[in-house]
Amino acid sequence: MRVDAIRNGIVIDHITAGLGRKLYNLLGLENVSAPVALLTNVSSAKLGRKDIIKVDANIPVDFNVIGYVDPGATVNIIRDGSLVEKRRIEMPEMLVNVIRCKNPRCITSCEQELAHKFRLTNREKKEYRCIYCETKVALL
């Protein structure tokens, strides 16, 4: 399989195998008009198997979404065909409008314009809690 190098854009690398599609959907990459490649189950010396997402365009990317889906992934910023920045992504302290509260009694259920906000409460267990009702959400 051959996937061309990109000139300007991003490469999200070291995604845990099987999480690439979830990340693709949460980032809304199906709506990007530029070339996007989702590679799954790629051989990796470090992880055994991994997923990779390549976007050949300068688009805004929410690093909090990446950190929520797969803390430990890396994001490579490419300009003029060269790597200009490499970021290792960690779990964000706060998630805003990334996930929705599942509690039907939460204020976000009846107040539609309210942002869905979750605070990281347990890094080891990868748990977030809704800031309004304290409903717990475990990482994917």
> Residue 140: what pLDDT?
55
Burial of 91 (0-12, 13-18, 19+ CB in 10 A): middle
SS3 114: coil
Tell me how many domains the chain contains: 2
In this predicted model, what pLDDT tens digit does every residue of 116-140 receive, in sequence order? Answer: 999 999 988 889 999 999 999 876 5
pTM of the prediction? 0.83
Same domain for 13 and 79: yes
**What CATH number is attached to the domain comprising 27?**
3.30.70.140
Mean residue pLDDT of the chain comes to: 90
For residues 74 and 88, the answer to whether their CB atoms sit within 8 Å is: yes
% of the chain with per-residue pLDDT over 70: 96
pLDDT (mean) for 22-34: 91
Range(s) of the domain holding residue 108: 94-138
Could you say which of 49, 70, 88 is where a domain stops? 88
| pLDDT bucket at 21, cuts 50 / 70 / 90 | very high
